[in-house]
Structure 1
């Protein structure tokens, strides 16, 4: 021991001067005047936006590939002190003085420079001569397309680098297999192969081809190991487990980790969060989080919700309103109420928000403690942006003239009173429990009688069903009028992502609604007449198929309401409003029950 301490420490290293020379030439060709041109070139306008999102921590999701490549580019901007305040609006725009162009282009340039000596090593590991390897590396060095891509803020250069690294690592692992299996050197190259494959796929999905190539070669080599009689069964099993861990488990784990880091970095609402779930949007700073702040987990008076029709064709759509009003006179000469339009909109929008209001109170905020909406309660729906109440009246709908118009009420000081009270009806029965956390809860919301007093619900006040409850269905039986329905979804964004549930409403025997959130679903409709209980009718849209038990939406340009007792016609006074003409009794297409005169008729299919 003492003798070894008296001896000097000697380190012996072998340096391949070819690799050193190729690395130097690669760095020189890629880093020389890297800031030129000092303007946005080609796809820098595309990737630069994502770098700014990372710098400002604004959520985005690029549908062209995974986020690892964007994070690498953002790392260069972070190291260079980029604040993300540059407008990436056009190719050729001059970079301002505060944009670190050299730092933003540094990592792609380094990846392109290191690809040159890596090509030399790959050819050498394949047992070719050094002259052949040198020739291959020189081709990579002087290739004009590779040089150009390496000097710009693009993802092609890092993708090529990790593809070459994956191939080189596996070749070194395979060559070390012959001499020292399970040694630290052997484990290093095997694990590096899996890491490089994960990085290649994490930059662009095209990297999966290199990953499949490596997996195919590894499978062939593993098959040869199984047939090697010089190895024991335990040794063969250890070889297979090592390859599974390094080439399957490690890449999958890293690939998922890229998304985990991506989501952890981006915590603010942005333009791309509309494609995510409502619960996820509510978890971001700003955006929907400002709406759901302080909202209870159950639907209560004052809750802000959205209503979604899941049977909309071609896409589900949300109950929507905006400042525009229905025209006074339609193109076919029919009149309208000139009230605020209510439509079905297939995209998430701030105009999709509605507030559940207690008709007996003027406040729109949730009380403390919250008062949940229960079976039989009479409510009003207030449009969040315009603060107008959801309303319906005996005026023909714009696209379905046999149905009543649904609008947001505008007081024009004329003889058209507001009819904006809606009563919730909940039917509880037995149904099989659906998959996961979806709970079927059949409910409907009918318009309360248009009297001055708010009617009281008959029977006990049953609370809305919670997740885990079971629901029943409303049935059409003679001689009751058939339940006319169009289905919407009520979304509570205050629910946490891991607690959100999906609910189904069954109004017609084979039609259903889904309610997203921790609250039972609600469908909204009208009950014409006063003083007697009739099955509530709900919204009907253009294109709904009645009698077959199925509902479909042909378009979202207009929203209709109840079917009146007859087709609308112009009033003799020329006011432009519609009146109804009695029709012969109709029969229910579901159960065959007849309809008495004056009861709501089954609307005809309008598309």
Structure 2
């Protein structure tokens, strides 16, 4: 580099009192070691401000790690039954080991770790975790090994929190408080000792914060080996977060905001960087924090596709083209061409209901007073029935169409003749029973269908992703049935119709023809004669599909189904309830022994952390107000640490919490765990701010009339901070111990003991 930028002391004196949301970044020369040393002494939040000693630090690091392991592994074999969402993630591990394709709304990284653990212990994936309460012992499942993986990650999260505080320049009491809030939190313990993804998510999120802090501390050594190491490690940690659950994007927001302010400060001409040098900084961060995570994110999907090469329960979520890449796929094996005049059975892809009709009519008036056509009902029926049979005939017949070997093509106009009632499917401009904006589907007699209502009975076969004039096939030919005159798509949904339709599903014309829920497929051809050449099945070669095409298809499907998780759940909760711990989740119960696992945080720790968040906002607001009135209550380094370091932790809390208010999907208490970890960091930082009363530096006015700052290198008075830490940890440990029976599922409690733990009316079992 060229000239060295102004020192942090000079910059801070000019910008004193400026509020920044996250860690502020600087830049320096690689060669001017002496100047660098001075900068680090004055500005970097490195250990030393409180006379940090490596001996006590290492002792506490060891003790916290050991305590984390003990609290997470204690009674990990209990219960020896499937608990809560272990039915999902244990099942997915088994599917990986069986190489069977499945579908899930979460990325593959966390699930692959479970599969890896199963492979390590020689498990073959024979058990599919079908029901909560199924015995692991009877089914010979190495469940302790599965649970050990998240338990270890949960245990290691505790020292990572401690290290994050320590590397940010906080004292031992502050670091211990932050780590202790995670160590003795019943929710973190309960969620990280079961076969669930949250341990991987939270550990990766904590590592991302730690690695970024380490990277930031090297801001005066840009492009050095250590600088690159911690930048890339931050990217790898971020990739693990986003590759476990999509809510990991909130960690990207946290780091991204800090990096954005960092780059904005580097752009300041007073930093002495040329545009070329700034561009290097920008590209390096983009590569390390965007490129590297995205590369690993794609890599895990490649592993996912490589392992799951057999047909399985996830096939139905994918397109026929995707399914043809899976061996033993029933759709590929049983798919045959559909000819005109075949009798076919049509089924909805999403709800699995059959296109059905029966002689009963729509009522004259619906419950809301609207009038129907009183035509024959067309409904969705969930069971096999002769009323599901339809004959596909040409919409505008030509001499060639009389030949029964004429294959139906993509884009053809067809009519559907209901076999039992001998009527033709029709849609017209009459509102459907439940959707006034959607068209009614009914049937009419053949004579009317061939004369004045001819156009209303024409439907276009539009194969999803199909080529022009592609052959229409059973099973593999997923299609939309588009009403030709009105251009609505035949659609159904799961809400049952009233008794007049025997509680079957409504079929109507959807104006939004792009919806994937408009897809149908021909399940079978009942009219297919035994001697028909189409019954001769030849082995079909498994096809290949470009990775990116498979990746984008799976991404679309995952996002669609993730957003569709809007149904109610008895233990779901709202984000406003989480910081105050108003309710938990019942994971498991055993009536004989009155044992239960009730997912609940440590109320004392959660309420303290939530209160401290409000205190932090109040302190920042008060500081801003007093500065406006010319009152400077904080020394420069204390204010910098409050805004930059503690502010960074507060940003992490906000980024991992506030976005949930915008979501419409099912939400549970465990979604708050990453935010709770960030609030623990804020709590530890505020302990130091409140109880370490001595300033970090002495301010003096020099002979030239300018303020000079002398950092204090001697030991600080930490007695008050230690006392506060002891009180906090003792209270939190007491809360943890009191709720242990609900966290570990043992021992069972009598009625009075259960009632004593219903602090906020928690819906615990066995309270009577």
TM-score bracket, normalised by the shorter chain, equals 0.5 to 0.7
Q: Show CA shifts across 1:141-184 (max 9, x none).
A: 22222222222112221111011000001110010122x22122
Give 1:112 shift: 0.7
Partner of 1:269: 311
Pairing 1:378–2:403 present: yes
Select the residue among 210, 225, 232 that pairs with 2:251: 210
Partner of 2:127: 86
Pick the structure with greater CA Rg: 1
> CA 1:375–1:138 in structure 2 vs 1: closer, same or farther (change >3 Å)?
same
Q: Is the Cα–Cα contact under 8 Å of residues 59 and 266 in structure 1 kept in the other structure?
A: yes
Pairing 1:287–2:287 present: no
> CA 1:181–1:342 in structure 2 vs 1: closer, same or farther (change >3 Å)?
same
> CA 1:506–1:106 in structure 2 vs 1: closer, same or farther (change >3 Å)?
closer
Cα distance in structure 1, aligned partners of 2:389 and 2:229: 55
Partner of 2:60: 18
Give 1:263 shift: 2.5
Cα distance in structure 1, aligned partners of 2:350 and 2:204: 42
Pairing 1:129–2:192 present: no
Q: Is the Cα–Cα contact under 8 Å of residues 486 and 544 in structure 1 kept in the other structure?
A: no
> CA 1:480–1:345 in structure 2 vs 1: closer, same or farther (change >3 Å)?
closer
After superposition, where does 1:229-378 map in structure 2 within 5 Å? 229-285=271-327, 286-292=329-335, 376=401, 378=403
Give 1:513 shift: 8.6
Cα distance in structure 2, aligned partners of 1:201 and 1:305: 48
Give 1:104 shift: 0.6
Cα distance in structure 2, aligned partners of 1:318 and 1:504: 15
Cα distance in structure 2, aligned partners of 1:490 and 1:350: 26
Q: Is the Cα–Cα contact under 8 Å of residues 101 and 310 in structure 2 kept in the other structure?
A: yes
Give 1:221 shift: 0.5
Q: Show CA shifts across 1:240-272 (max 9, x none).
A: 000111112222333233333222222222233
Cα distance in structure 2, aligned partners of 1:331 and 1:346: 16
Q: Determine helix, strand or coil for the equivalent of 1:231.
A: coil
> CA 1:232–1:493 in structure 2 vs 1: closer, same or farther (change >3 Å)?
closer
> CA 1:282–1:342 in structure 2 vs 1: closer, same or farther (change >3 Å)?
farther
After superposition, where does 1:539-554 map in structure 2 within 5 Å? none
Give 1:238 shift: 0.7
Q: Is the Cα–Cα contact under 8 Å of residues 307 and 318 in structure 1 kept in the other structure?
A: no
Q: Determine helix, strand or coil for the equivalent of 1:83.
A: coil
Partner of 1:442: none
Q: Determine helix, strand or coil for the equivalent of 1:52.
A: helix
Q: Is the Cα–Cα contact under 8 Å of residues 391 and 417 in structure 2 kept in the other structure?
A: no
Cα distance in structure 1, aligned partners of 2:236 and 2:385: 43
Greater shift after overlay, 485-494 or 238-247?
A: 485-494
Cα distance in structure 1, aligned partners of 2:184 and 2:144: 22
**How many residues matched?**
399
Partner of 2:264: 223
Greater shift after overlay, 220-229 or 250-259?
A: 250-259
Cα distance in structure 1, aligned partners of 2:445 and 2:247: 53
Cα distance in structure 2, aligned partners of 1:195 and 1:350: 54
Q: Is the Cα–Cα contact under 8 Å of residues 160 and 206 in structure 2 kept in the other structure?
A: yes
Partner of 2:662: none
Select the residue among 121, 144, 157 that pairs with 2:199: 157
Give 1:317 shift: 10
> CA 1:248–1:305 in structure 2 vs 1: closer, same or farther (change >3 Å)?
farther
Cα distance in structure 2, aligned partners of 1:511 and 1:50: 40
Q: Is the Cα–Cα contact under 8 Å of residues 358 and 421 in structure 2 kept in the other structure?
A: no
Q: Determine helix, strand or coil for the equivalent of 1:203.
A: coil
Partner of 2:606: none
Cα distance in structure 2, aligned partners of 1:77 and 1:305: 48
> CA 1:217–1:543 in structure 2 vs 1: closer, same or farther (change >3 Å)?
closer
Q: Is the Cα–Cα contact under 8 Å of residues 319 and 343 in structure 1 kept in the other structure?
A: no
Cα distance in structure 1, aligned partners of 2:403 and 2:202: 64
Pairing 1:59–2:101 present: yes
Q: Is the Cα–Cα contact under 8 Å of residues 69 and 152 in structure 2 kept in the other structure?
A: yes
Q: Is the Cα–Cα contact under 8 Å of residues 340 and 404 in structure 2 kept in the other structure?
A: no
What do you get for the CA RMSD once the two structures are aligned? 5.3
Q: Determine helix, strand or coil for the equivalent of 1:270.
A: coil
Q: Is the Cα–Cα contact under 8 Å of residues 51 and 77 in structure 1 kept in the other structure?
A: yes
Greater shift after overlay, 346-355 or 192-201?
A: 346-355
Cα distance in structure 1, aligned partners of 2:280 and 2:128: 54
Give 1:114 shift: 0.8
Q: Show CA shifts across 1:175-218 (max 9, x none).
A: 0122x221221111111112212211222222221210100000
Cα distance in structure 1, aligned partners of 2:214 and 2:235: 13
> CA 1:33–1:331 in structure 2 vs 1: closer, same or farther (change >3 Å)?
closer
Cα distance in structure 2, aligned partners of 1:204 and 1:492: 29
Q: Show CA shifts across 1:375-431 (max 9, x none).
A: 656226999xxxxx977699456985642399xxxxxxxxxxxxxxxxxxxxxxxxx
Partner of 2:161: 119
Q: Determine helix, strand or coil for the equivalent of 1:489.
A: strand
Q: Show CA shifts across 1:80-134 (max 9, x none).
A: 2222222423322221352111211121011111111101111112211123212
Contiguous gaps of at least 5 residues in structure 1: 1-12, 333-340, 358-372, 384-388, 407-445, 448-478, 515-540, 557-607
Partner of 1:75: 116
Q: Is the Cα–Cα contact under 8 Å of residues 339 and 406 in structure 2 kept in the other structure?
A: no
Cα distance in structure 2, aligned partners of 1:235 and 1:40: 56
Higher RCO (C-alpha under 8 Å, 6+ residues apart): 2
Greater shift after overlay, 482-491 or 114-123?
A: 482-491
Q: Show CA shifts across 1:216-244 (max 9, x none).
A: 00000011111143223322111100011
Give 1:509 shift: 6.3
Q: Is the Cα–Cα contact under 8 Å of residues 378 and 442 in structure 2 kept in the other structure?
A: no
Cα distance in structure 1, aligned partners of 2:390 and 2:324: 16
Cα distance in structure 2, aligned partners of 1:208 and 1:320: 39
> CA 1:376–1:512 in structure 2 vs 1: closer, same or farther (change >3 Å)?
farther
Relative to total residues, which structure has the larger helix share, 1 or 2? 2
> CA 1:401–1:262 in structure 2 vs 1: closer, same or farther (change >3 Å)?
closer
> CA 1:76–1:302 in structure 2 vs 1: closer, same or farther (change >3 Å)?
farther
Cα distance in structure 2, aligned partners of 1:43 and 1:78: 21
> CA 1:96–1:185 in structure 2 vs 1: closer, same or farther (change >3 Å)?
same
Contiguous gaps of at least 5 residues in structure 2: 1-53, 364-375, 409-415, 426-440, 491-505, 520-768
Partner of 2:457: 485
TM-score scaled by length of structure 2: 0.43
Partner of 1:95: 136
> CA 1:492–1:235 in structure 2 vs 1: closer, same or farther (change >3 Å)?
closer
> CA 1:161–1:511 in structure 2 vs 1: closer, same or farther (change >3 Å)?
closer
> CA 1:543–1:75 in structure 2 vs 1: closer, same or farther (change >3 Å)?
closer
Partner of 2:241: 200
> CA 1:134–1:354 in structure 2 vs 1: closer, same or farther (change >3 Å)?
same
